Chain A
Amino acid sequence: AQKVTQAQTEISVVEKEDVTLDCVYETRDTTYYLFWYKQPPSGELVFLIRRNSFDEQNEISGRYSWNFQKSTSSFNFTITASQVVDSAVYFCALSEANFNKFYFGSGTKLNVKP
């Protein structure tokens, strides 16, 4: 069965610190997709990234980077030089091939203090 675990319920950092949000997943599928979403205090959901199971290259987008390691079934998210605007709940998710179903982690609340 598919499962996504975000063991960190809440993390607090001071602005400009680097922070890594962990995501561990379980699946028996060989083809699957991993996602990260952001939910700021205003409540909307924002799609951040999608990675397929055949692409283990790390991805960097500005201050955001993602480390996908199939050997440890992890898809971790790092924010470099965090800013107050990064304060949000971040969700990791797994979908089956063809994006037919999605499985979400419980989310990690990130507090970035000035």
Chain B
Amino acid sequence: DSGVTQTPKHLITATGQRVTLRCSPRSGDLSVYWYQQSLDQGLQFLIQYYNGEERAKGNILERFSAQQFPDLHSELNLSSLELGDSALYFCASSVELAVSTDTQYFGPGTRLTVL
């Protein structure tokens, strides 16, 4: 158990809908990272938060947004869903990767299926 929790584990929804994926980082970890893994695109970095502030954006669509709350949990909001958004969404956390001894810990992922 990595200590990172993600809910829900599975989500099935229809095109055009909006969903929210939730991530709780390990206790003490300030950074949260979101990744998408799909058959078409492989593993892609979406966005990173550090202590409530957005730190970096990767290949995140405008239909997607995220935030990190004061208690450090994070939510990834996906709207106007399309079939191509079907993927496994991972969240990871770390204290601060700039510290050489730090490690990223991954949650079990949320599998999103858009029908």
Interface of B is mostly: strand
B58 at interface, CB cutoff 8 A: yes
B97 in contact with A44 (CB, 8 Å)? no
B78 at interface, CB cutoff 8 A: no
Stretch in contact with the other chain, from A66-74, A80-88, A96-104: A96-104
Interface string of B53-65 (1 = CB under 8 A from A): 0011110000000
Interface residues of B in 57-77 (CB under 8 A from A): 57-58
Residues of B with C-beta under 8 A to A43: 88, 108-109
Q: Interface size of B by Cβ–Cβ distance < 8 Å?
A: 24
Q: Could you tell me the distance in whole angstroms from the C-beta of B88 to the nearest C-beta in chain A?
A: 7
| Known A45-B90, A52-B100; contact A104-B45, beta-carbon cutoff 8 A | yes
Q: Interface size of A by Cβ–Cβ distance < 8 Å?
A: 19
Residues of A with C-beta under 8 A to B106: 44-47
Residues of B within 8 A of A (CB): 2, 33, 35, 42-45, 48, 55-58, 88, 90, 92, 97-98, 100, 103-106, 108-109
Residues of A within 8 A of B (CB): 33, 43-47, 50, 52, 91, 93, 98-104, 106-107
